[in-house]
Amino acid sequence: MKRGEEEEEDDDMVWLDESFFINDDYKMSTFSFGSQVIHLLCLQSASTDYDLTGQLVWPGAVLLNNYLSNNTAILQGCSIIELGSGVGVTGILCSRFCHEILLTDHNEQILKKNIELQPSHENHTNYAVERLLRHRGAAGSKFILAYVSRAKTMDVMVLNEAVKHGLQVREVEGTRSVVSNLEGVIFEIKLL
């Protein structure tokens, strides 16, 4: 390549800083689960960017929240840990029924804003996950997983991996449904 061609090629290059890839166009959205209405900020479209994958409400959250809003008794008196809370829609719903809750996400900026938007946000206590499990006794801990299937082979792998690590996995009867054209199901998971 000749020197003149190199200078011309450099002139054609476009340099983008990291803000080009970040979407922080959060919109106030309203979600209804049974009689519960939740207002929160979230993105309107999906992103595969590491920092933004949890910044919208995914079909799995809709599936889980519909189940929880119809079965609030299972939350009464419970302490809840939500790992990967994203915008906090599930944790915020749970906080209306449970004893104490910890919401976590690697990107806490929008999560904190959404908690502050709620009429009562003092229930979002700050226990460390490890301390809460130790205090409650890990062997008695129960988890609820909303699982939305994207590939049947992956479904089997996820369940096998859970069992391999000492978890008891049970499908909650009557929870299979279609969410955004994807099949979903609720699992109850217990530490053995």
CA angle in degrees (0–180, nearest 5) for 16-22-24: 140
Give the model's pLDDT for residue 6.
57
pTM above 0.85, yes or no: no
Q: Per-residue pLDDT tens for 1-13?
A: 566 555 555 567 7
Range of the domain at 24: 3-136
In this structure, the strands spanning 167-171 and 100-103 are unpaired
The CATH number given to whatever domain includes residue 72 is 3.40.50.150
Mean pLDDT over 75-99 rounds to 87
* Count: domains in the chain: 1
Q: Are 100 and 127 in contact (CB under 8 A)?
A: yes
Mean per-residue pLDDT over the chain, rounded: 77
In this structure, the strands spanning 36-42 and 27-33 are antiparallel
Mean pLDDT over 44-63 rounds to 74
Which of the two residues, 185 and 142, has the higher pLDDT score?
185
pLDDT for residue 123 is more than 60:
no
Q: Is residue 37 part of a domain?
A: yes
Q: Is residue 26 part of a domain?
A: yes
Beta strand spans in the chain (E) = 27-33, 36-42, 79-82, 100-103, 142-148, 167-171, 177-179, 182-191
Q: Is residue 166 part of a domain?
A: no
Q: Is residue 180 part of a domain?
A: no
Q: Is residue 185 part of a domain?
A: no
CB atoms within 10 A of CB 189: 14
Q: 132 falls in which pLDDT band (50, 70, 90)?
A: very low
Q: Per-residue pLDDT tens for 66-77?
A: 999 999 999 988
Q: Is residue 155 part of a domain?
A: no
